[in-house]
């Protein structure tokens, strides 16, 4: 009933930025780190990752960072990262675009019409597990 699906998102400021004189690609590194923490059979959105990093406004950078996900090591489950609608926006960047859907389905995530089924159910909030790093 009622479809009042709002996302208040308290936004916990847990940004673990360490201005130790070394900033480099901290942002990208953090994104990869969070994505790697995504459990199997779960998915998350770019904005969620960006928000967990304290840069929800930089949701674009998350996607941009994933651009090199297939080139960095260890491998990053970029296929578990979709947009806020649960659409496989980045599927076109995979070797074969269908690879993303196959990987998701293989992990138990149903995908239909390039969209994650029950995305909200499979949604994995990095902010809730951000503390589980290391």
Partner DNA sequence: CTCCTGACTCAGC
Partner DNA sequence: GGCTGAGCCAGGA
**Footprint of DNA on this chain (CB under 7 A)?**
7, 25, 27-28, 45-47, 55-64, 66-67, 69-70, 78-79, 81, 83-85, 89-90, 92-94, 100
- Shortest Cβ 132–DNA spacing (Å): 22
Question: Based on CB atoms, which residue is closest to DNA, 5 or 134?
Answer: 5
CA angle (128 as vertex; 48, 56 as ends), nearest 5:
25
- Shortest Cβ 38–DNA spacing (Å): 12
Question: Based on CB atoms, which residue is closest to DNA, 54 or 130?
Answer: 54
The residue whose two tokens read 């009042």 is 4
111-112 and 81-82 beta bridge pairing: unpaired
- Shortest Cβ 134–DNA spacing (Å): 22
- Shortest Cβ 30–DNA spacing (Å): 11
Residues 5 and 65: their CA atoms lie apart, in Å, by: 29
- The conformation of residue 130, written as its DSSP 8-state character, comes to G
Question: Based on CB atoms, which residue is closest to DNA, 99 or 129?
Answer: 99
Q: What is the rounded end-to-end Cα distance, in angstroms, of the chain?
A: 40
* Per-position DSSP letters for 76-114, written without gaps between them: --GGGEE-TT-B-GGGGGSSSTHHHHHHHHHHT--EETT
Question: Based on CB atoms, which residue is closest to DNA, 84 or 129?
Answer: 84
């Amino acid at each position: 009933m009622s479809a009042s699906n709002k996302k208040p998102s308290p936004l916990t400021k847990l940004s673990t930025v360490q201005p130790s004189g070394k900033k480099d690609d901290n942002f990208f590194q953090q994104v990869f780190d969070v994505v790697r923490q995504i459990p199997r059979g779960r998915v998350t959105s770019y904005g969620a990752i960006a928000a967990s990093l304290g840069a929800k406004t930089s949701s674009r950078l998350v996607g941009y960072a994933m651009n090199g996900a297939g080139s960095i090591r260890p491998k990053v489950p970029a296929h578990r990262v979709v947009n806020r609608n649960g659409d496989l926006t980045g599927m076109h960047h995979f070797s074969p675009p269908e690879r993303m859907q196959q990987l998701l389905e293989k992990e138990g995530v149903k995908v239909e019409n390039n969209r994650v089924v029950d995305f909200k159910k499979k949604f994995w909030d990095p902010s809730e597990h951000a503390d589980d790093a290391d």
